[in-house]
Chains A and B, each alone.
Chain A
Amino acid sequence: NAGVTQTPKFQVLKTGQSMTLQCAQDMNHEYMSWYRQDPGMGLRLIHYSVGAGITDQGEVPNGYNVSRSTTEDFPLRLLSAAPSQTSVYFCASSWTGVDEKLFFGSGTQLSVL
């Protein structure tokens, strides 16, 4: 099993550009989530999903969109990138929720110039 796969690993954007961070899992997990990690601020939840067609906001959803058309995929879209979105992004999944072991991807390092 590949686990949780994130692409790309690194990305540089200019302010105002849009892009999609990909996340895929092959464990048939219902719960998927996106976090951003910034120095001194720990992990902050952006969006999460408890199954195909169901998404909800986390702590810091502004500037990001998500959709969940399949169980396997949970892409994160930056609509108009801003320097404040420079961060490391992690996708995580589990069977049904955070009361179970979360499986994390290896992260995407994003710089917005």
Chain B
Amino acid sequence: AQSVTQPDIHITVSEGASLELRCNYSYGATPYLFWYVQSPGQGLQLLLKYFSGDTLVQGIKGFEAEFKRSQSSFNLRKPSVHWSDAAEYFCAVGAPHAGNNRKLIWGLGTSLAVNP
């Protein structure tokens, strides 16, 4: 069965420090991969997505993610965190080989706190 795991429920970093949020998935082929961010009291916003091609994907707000097939991972990174990055981050997986573009599988999220 397809699944998405975000191992870290909560992470705290200092402003200016680097960030890596982990995402692992279980799927028989290469899925669509997404990172969404949710600021407090808001809906979700797409940061970046991977479908195929270059395994290093650039997104908005200075974020990037790297797809590693051998590790079934799609970790999100940012070189220098800003206080405004404090939010909830969700990894999600779609299943193109099943011809299914109607449902995503969502991770439970990682809550990021940023210390000044």
Contact = CB atoms under 8 A, between A and B. Distances in A.
A97 B42 CA distance: 22
A42 B108 contact: yes
Contact of A101 (B49, B51, B107): B49
A63 interface: no
Contact of A98 (B42, B90, B103): B103
Contact of A42 (B42, B49, B102, B109): B109
Interface residues of B, number: 21
B29 interface: no
Contacts of A96: 101
Give the bracket for the number of chain A residues in contact with chain B. Answer: 20 to 34
B43 A43 contact: no
Nearest to A91: B43
Interface in B60-98: 90, 94, 96
Interface string A69-101: 000000000000000000000101000111111
B94 A98 contact: yes
Nearest to B101: A97
A60 B14 CA distance: 38
Nearest to B93: A98
A45 interface: yes
Given A4-B43, A42-B90, A90-B44, A97 B102 contact: yes
Interface of A: 4, 31, 40-45, 48, 50, 56, 58, 90, 92, 96-102, 104-107
